[in-house]
Amino acid sequence: MRKIALILLIASALISCNSDISGSRTIVVSVALDYSAEDGFRQNHALANPPNDQQAFVSQAEVLTEPGMMERYTFLSKDGRRTLNGREERWGKEDVLDAIEGIEAGSDDLVIFFYSGHGEDRTGNLVVSIEDDEFGTISPDELLNALASIGGKKCVFLDSCYSGQYVEEAGMLADGEIFGDDGSLVEDGFLSSLLPALRMTMASGKLGTDDIWVMSAATAGQLSYDSGMDGLPNQDKYGAFSYYLLSALGYDMEENTPCRDQGRGGMTFMGLYHDVKDMMSRSMWKTQTPQITLTPVDLRLF
């Protein structure tokens, strides 16, 4: 996005988190639901691919992390069975939030939250259950407050409809694009990015509040899709956004296996976002436009 280049010119330099990350931990909290065969299940809510998204994301994060330095909390609802780290457990929203708030992370540790599933219309709430209030939904405030309560650097990846709500709730500027009434992308040019870039560069107050970086599959008004249609290998097995996110992380989509093709310390949040954007077809980008929190500080991931 050209806004980043403009910020470079105005602010003179883009500050990066360049501290030595050798020896730091990666803590991954992931949630995926296929909404299959649960009580009160309605067939039109089923999603085939979130479990695949989660499995591939967690396995790819593991190969990018130093051996023995990854901690995981894998919440999965698949075929009517709920598990946590592979063990049968009837988990709900409070269990997810408790897992986040219970993390003891040091300043150099990286905490990643990954979600693949439904997002609620207008609110963007993450739908932990379609109809059971016991499991409920996770709102932007709830998720971001839970992450803000712990240490470390926090990164959020959301493959769900209306997930751009989490970027707005994080207090950052929108991505600078112009969208039509139907939520589709109208313009992604220099002029549309100019004013937001100037505002962000000159703004007072905190940018990058609480060390949380968010990348969403779509804007606050867009849907995300359970698979893309660009004719790429195994694209039907993954969420449309997750497919490109995994590709950008280095996952071998053709072989469906994790792959370590980048050394530790070679991947940043902004770099990952640009790779996702560059890999997506323009037609998909215009209808499902990933959003990110924008700060003058980039985040080193792996």
Convert the pLDDT of each residue in 94-118 to its tens digit.
999 999 999 999 999 999 999 999 9
* pLDDT of 208 strictly over 60: no
pLDDT at 121: 87
Q: Mean pLDDT across the stretch 1-15?
A: 36
* pLDDT of 180 strictly over 80: no
Residue 174 banded pLDDT, cuts 50, 70, 90: very low
| 124, 139, 267, 300: CA torsion to nearest 10 | 140
* pLDDT of 173 strictly over 60: no
User: Cα–Cα distance between 164 and 175 in angstroms, integer?
Assistant: 10
Residue 224 banded pLDDT, cuts 50, 70, 90: very high
pLDDT at 171: 45
pLDDT at 146: 96
pLDDT at 47: 93
Q: Mean pLDDT across the stretch 226-239?
A: 93
User: Cα–Cα distance between 194 and 43 in angstroms, integer?
Assistant: 45
Higher-confidence position of 273 and 181 = 273
**% of residues, the chain, pLDDT over 70:** 72
For residue 216, the surrounding DSSP H or E stretch is strand 212-216
Residue from 144, 172, 171 nearest 158 by CA: 144
Name residues whose C-beta falls within 8 Å of residue 163's C-beta, 6 or more positions apart in sequence.
Answer: 119, 124, 216, 217, 218, 220, 224, 291
* Residue whose tokens read 């995994």: 246
269 and 155 Cβ atoms separated by less than 8 Å:
yes
Query: What number of other Cβ atoms are within 10 A of residue 300's Cβ?
Result: 21
* pLDDT of 154 strictly over 70: yes
* 67-81, 165-179, 207-221, 250-264: range with lowest mean pLDDT: 165-179
100 and 146 Cβ atoms separated by less than 8 Å:
yes
Residue 168 banded pLDDT, cuts 50, 70, 90: low
301, burial (CB in 10 Å: exposed 0-12, middle 13-18, buried 19+): buried
40 and 129 Cβ atoms separated by less than 8 Å:
no
Residue 23 banded pLDDT, cuts 50, 70, 90: low
pLDDT at 77: 94
Please give the single-letter amino acid code of residue 176. Answer: G
Q: Mean pLDDT across the stretch 143-164?
A: 95
pLDDT at 205: 36
* pLDDT of 177 strictly over 50: yes
* pLDDT of 21 strictly over 60: no
Mean model confidence pLDDT for the chain: 80
